[in-house]
Amino acid sequence: MSEGMIVSSRGERAVQALSRFGELEWFKLPTEFNAAYGYAQVPYMGWRYAFPEEEVAQLIEASVRALSTQVDWEIDRARRNWMLVPTRVLREAHGLADPSFRDVVHSINVQDQEFCLKALSDFELIIQHLLQVHLSEE
C-alpha cells in the first residue's frame, strides 16, 4: 500500500480484513462523521488488489450477502477499484461512474441520518465478518 496514508482505527480494521484476501494496492474509506457539520456519513469503501482474483471477489461478495444487515449492500467491480457501497447510493446515483455519486452521498448524509447510522452499524458488522471469514488453504 502507498506510504503516508492516514487511516483511522476503523480503516485499519478494514485494511486488515481486506488484506486477508490479497495484497492491497489502494484503499479509501471516508470518515464516519463530518467534523465540520457533526453528522454521520454514509460509509463506503474502495480498494484495489495488486493481483485481483475472481474467487476472492466471489468470496467477499458471498460473505457480505450472507450477513443480515439493516440496509442492502453491493460490491461494485465494474472498474479497476472495487467498492463496497449501500445499494441505495448506487441506485440513486445511477452507478458509481455517474458524476452525481458524490451529490447523492452528500444528500443522504444531510437528509437521512437514520440511514447513515444503520449503514455505519452494518459496515462495522461487515468488517468484523470479513476479519473472521474462513479462508480455504489451497
How high is the pLDDT of residue 2? Answer: 46
What's the DSSP call for residue 49?
A: E
Residue of 98, 83, 77, 70 lying closest to 30 (CA atoms): 83
To the nearest whole number, what is the mean pLDDT of the chain?
A: 90
How high is the pLDDT of residue 73? Answer: 97
pLDDT (tens digit per residue) in 108-134: 999 999 999 999 999 999 999 999 988
Q: Has residue 95 got a pLDDT over 80?
A: no
How high is the pLDDT of residue 3? Answer: 44
pLDDT (tens digit per residue) in 57-68: 999 999 999 999
C-alpha distances out from residue 77 to 19, 62, 124, 136, Å: 17, 14, 21, 23
How high is the pLDDT of residue 26? Answer: 96
